[in-house]
Amino acid sequence: MAADGYSALHEFWLNLRAIPNHVYRAMFRGGPPKTDRTRSSFIFGNVFLHLHSVRTHLWSLRWSDDGPRGIVTTAAFLSL
């Protein structure tokens, strides 16, 4: 028995039921970022958003700029 009188299975069930709330609070922790400083803090704090930029310049999406980088990256990955 746990310290507060619940069995381990009951505590597990309570923790399992709390997962959606924990995920929601983790995703929407500080509200939407409103300033450049909070936006950059949010980006650098999240690995996915850090690797995939939020703002992109139109010229960076051209095939002549982005295509060769993708080919080189794919070739380097496959050579591992």
Residue 70 host element (H or E): helix 63-79
pLDDT per residue over 25-51, tens digit each?
A: 877 777 777 888 888 887 777 776 667
Q: How far apart are CA 73 and CA 67, in angstroms?
A: 10
CA angle 43, 45, 48 (to 5 degrees): 65
Mean pLDDT value across the chain? 80
Asked if the model's pLDDT at residue 52 lies above 90, the reply is no
